[in-house]
Structure 1
Amino acid sequence: MTIFSLYIYDRHCACIYYQDWHRAKRPRPAPEGAVLHAVSRAVSVSTANTTTGGLSSAFSSPRNTLASSSGIVLAVGHDGGPTIALSPTQTNQALSSPLSPQAPAPPPPPPMAALPFDEEAKLVYGVLLSLRNMVKKLSGRDEQFTGYRTSTYRFHIFETLSGYKFVMLSDPSADSLRFVLRALYAGPFVEYVVKNPLVRMDSKAYGIDNDHFRLATDRLVRSHPSFAQSQ
């Protein structure tokens, strides 16, 4: 079992926080102005590597959290990079270079999801909103939507009375993680976000990329038995 990623949405349907752990394909940076500021450094345009078109952080897990073979497609695979062909002369020069034994080739950048992060966040929220409305129509207003499971991932949702929505994606074999999301809200979120006067809540312009909240969230998630990566 393992935990893939976490999204937090505010009452205005905007993604205000993102964090991941065992993603095989990192999210693409969102276009400028497409997401709120300070949602996550991993999806910010300012942290993108302009040379490779990627990000500075790496995702080394062999699993993909948003697989195209799942029940609802949230992100699909991305083709590999271009192949560079060397002429025989260039190959001989590279082999004869005195620096080649001492300078190993840099590892290839980790693959990225096909969609930019803003589109991915909208799809995740769209799944949440659609299924929640369907559950209310079929089962009555008193019924609560808590998540669903596919062959490749499990979707967990915890919604607060103030309208904040905590969404977590995990391995399909994981048990319900609503209590983890509830503990995340009652603990780090209240302590480092709600009680923090420097965090601009409901600003419609800024996320909550608070270092203390991010570290506390990371410790809470890593301490759960479901965090251990599947073999």
Structure 2
Amino acid sequence: MAVYAFYIFSRKNECVFAHRWKPADSNSMETLVSQLESATFEEDVEKLIFGVIFSLRNMVRKISNGKDDFLSYTTSQYKLHFYETPTNLRLVFFTSPKVEPLTHVLHQIYATLYTEFVVKHPLYTQVPPPLEKGGINCEMFRITLDRFVRTLSFNETDNISLVAFNVYGHITTYFNELLYT
């Protein structure tokens, strides 16, 4: 299993945070990751991602009589996982296609990491600026998100099991390592 990218979109439908991981194994996803990192493609990738999510959510709402049940979609190369917060932030993961929906992990990232490092940050604004203007510029959030994602383990069928389920304990351990080493 591999996590390829993570995005946060604001309630104004702008990308305010993006983080990408390079896949450990050599496969077709390297092409997607290299495209995500290329300067010419990167300008529009966030808009394309949000456009796909917006369109699919509208289609799901129409098919399911107004229910908003869109959690993920899968292609042959990746799976997109989606979570919308009560404040209309939208969190998105790109992973390998066989992974079960990660809505609970996205919720955990929002409820713990985002709240701890972004909302409680002294320079926090309710509507973060778009990525072009700096976005969510909190290095502790980025580092802790990276470490948290690396603690996720997957078995041979790519079903998720959380190695470090206690996120606050993980954060506390991480801060202690930073402060005392």
Q: TM-score range by the shorter chain?
A: 0.7 to 0.9
Q: Does the CA-based 8 Å contact 2:77-2:97 persist in structure 1?
A: yes
CA distance in 1, matches of 2:118, 2:126: 8
CA distance in 1, matches of 2:19, 2:44: 16
User: Which one of the candidate residues 119, 122, 128 is aligned to 2:44?
Assistant: 119
CA distance in 1, matches of 2:57, 2:34: 27
Structure 1 residue 221 and structure 2 residue 146: aligned?
no
- TM-aligned CA distance change 1:197 to 1:153, over 3 Å: same
CA distance in 2, matches of 1:173, 1:203: 33
In the TM superposition, residue 64 of structure 1 has moved relative to its aligned partner by: 4.5
Matched AA of 1:62: S
Alignment of 1:49-68 (within 5 A): 62-65=26-29
2:103 corresponds to: 178
Q: Does the CA-based 8 Å contact 2:4-2:33 persist in structure 1?
A: no
Runs of 4+ in 1 over 3 A off after TM superposition: 63-67, 75-78, 111-115, 203-206
In the TM superposition, residue 117 of structure 1 has moved relative to its aligned partner by: 1.4
For residue 116 of structure 1, give the secondary structure of its aligned residue in structure 2: helix
Residues paired across the two proteins, number: 154
TM-score (norm 2): 0.74
Deviations 1:111-161 (A, max 9, x none): 954843120111111110000000001112223100111111101000001
- TM-aligned CA distance change 1:227 to 1:122, over 3 Å: farther
Structure 2: runs of 5 or more not aligned: 159-181
CA distance in 1, matches of 2:137, 2:155: 22
Q: Does the CA-based 8 Å contact 2:16-2:128 persist in structure 1?
A: no
Q: Does the CA-based 8 Å contact 2:22-2:30 persist in structure 1?
A: no
1:212 corresponds to: 140
Q: Does the CA-based 8 Å contact 1:77-1:114 persist in structure 2?
A: no
2:68 corresponds to: 143
TM-score (norm 1): 0.59
Alignment of 1:1-231 (within 5 A): 1-22=1-22, 62-65=26-29, 113=38, 115-204=40-129, 205-226=133-154
For residue 127 of structure 2, give the secondary structure of its aligned residue in structure 1: coil
Deviations 1:185-223 (A, max 9, x none): 011100111111213341544411211111110111100
For residue 225 of structure 1, give the secondary structure of its aligned residue in structure 2: strand
For residue 200 of structure 1, give the secondary structure of its aligned residue in structure 2: coil
CA distance in 1, matches of 2:5, 2:33: 16
Structure 1: runs of 5 or more not aligned: 24-59, 68-74, 79-110
Structure that is richer in helix per residue: 2
CA distance in 2, matches of 1:8, 1:64: 24
Deviations 1:55-85 (A, max 9, x none): xxxxx76345486xxxxxxx6987xxxxxxx
**Identical amino acids, percent of aligned pairs:** 32
Q: Does the CA-based 8 Å contact 2:5-2:94 persist in structure 1?
A: yes
